[in-house]
């Protein structure tokens, strides 16, 4: 039943008609429980509240199905505004970007130049930028662009997904760049040709990735809500004398808040992933796919006054 639920919501996440409808009607049906706001300015109070609780953040301007050059330039300008606002409001926040929103599916040089503009502004304000990883078909292009940008900028990292067979090799390939990586399980539906299908295999690969990247001495963000993975990381770091300055935990906004606060009390760095924007539909559907219990958010949203 859980697999059917996951597949159903992943199918819905790719429906362009429903995405357009979601944009039209705004953040309803529970989405505000996992999305910071309709735009970044309205998300600032959410970040300030999290910062006061001892939680740092990374923010993501949500975007799916970008297919025009003009829209990629708009997205770039909006991202630059976000970075400037982070600095102006003195927020303890980084930012995350999806390359498809900046032109990855249109032209390689276009997305590269858009990212250069973003990273130049981020460098000016000392803001770190993570390139989010999308589905497997875009993985190699994303890593190629990351490598090119890393040769010019120190304030950029990316994401490696443990459900892909290739991921441990990718970490080994990237290690000479001394990369800051976010390690995740992965939230897209992939075939058995490229990805593990069983949770136990995805978890095993994630643990190996955590070990490899920490052992390499590179900064590691462990993005998980899984207590098993959290406890594994704590134990591995302690047994191998790995400083807590070398890693952090990351979780999604609106989920497992109490666990986030408990990690802060234990002197671990805890970063909250806060998405924002009216293009929230694909992200929200993937969150429902990851954990069927999240469907309760929808029901509450329907009946909330």
Report the catalytic residues.
132, 182
SS (HEC) of the chain? CHHHHHHHHHHHHCCHHHHHHHHHHCCCCCHHHCCCCCCCCCCHHHHHHHHHCCCEEEEEECCCCCCCHHHHHHHHHHHHHHHHHHHHCCCCEEEEECHHHHCCCCCHHHHHHHHHHHHHHHHHCCCCEEECCCCHHHHHHHHHHHHHHHCCCCCEEEEEECCECCHHHHHHHHHHHCCCEEEECCCCCCCCCCECCCHHHHHHHHHHHHHHHHHCCCCEEEECCCHHHHHHHHHHHHHCCCCHHHEEEEEECCCCHHHHHHHHHCCCCEEEEEEECCCCHHHHHHHHHHCHHHHHHHHHHHHCC
- The C-alpha atoms of residue 262 and residue 54 are separated, in whole angstroms, by 11
> 242 CB contacts (<8 Å, ≥6 apart)?
214, 236
């Amino acid at each position: 039943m859980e697999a059917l639920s996951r597949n159903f919501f992943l199918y819905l996440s790719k429906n362009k008609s429903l995405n357009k409808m979601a944009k039209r009607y705004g953040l309803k049906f529970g989405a505000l429980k996992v999305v910071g706001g309709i735009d970044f300015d309205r998300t600032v109070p959410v970040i300030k509240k999290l910062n006061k609780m001892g939680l740092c953040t990374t923010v993501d301007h949500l975007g799916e199905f970008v297919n025009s050059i003009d829209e990629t330039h708009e997205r770039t300008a909006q991202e630059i505004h976000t970075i400037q606002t982070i600095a102006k409001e003195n927020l303890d926040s980084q930012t995350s970007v999806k390359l498809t929103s900046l032109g990855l599916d249109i032209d390689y040089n276009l997305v590269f130049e858009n990212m250069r503009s973003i990273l130049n502004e981020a460098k000016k304000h000392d803001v770190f930028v993570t390139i989010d990883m999308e589905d497997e078909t875009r993985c190699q292009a994303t890593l190629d662009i990351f490598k090119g940008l890393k040769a010019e900028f120190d304030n950029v990292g990316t994401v490696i997904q443990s459900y892909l067979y290739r991921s441990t090799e990718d970490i080994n390939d990237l290690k000479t760049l001394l990369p800051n990586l976010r390690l995740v399980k992965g939230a897209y539906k992939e075939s058995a040709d490229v990805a593990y299908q069983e949770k136990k295999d995805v978890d095993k690969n994630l643990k190996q990735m955590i070990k490899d990247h920490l052992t390499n001495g590179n900064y590691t963000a462990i993005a998980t809500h899984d207590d098993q993975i959290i406890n594994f990381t704590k134990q591995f770091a302690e047994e191998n004398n790995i400083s807590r300055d070398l890693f952090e935990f990351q979780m999604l906004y609106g989920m497992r808040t109490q666990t986030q606060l408990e990690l802060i009390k234990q002197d671990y760095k805890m970063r909250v992933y806060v998405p924002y924007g009216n293009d929230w539909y694909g992200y929200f559907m993937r969150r429902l796919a990851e954990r069927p219990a999240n469907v309760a958010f929808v029901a509450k949203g329907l009946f909330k006054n």
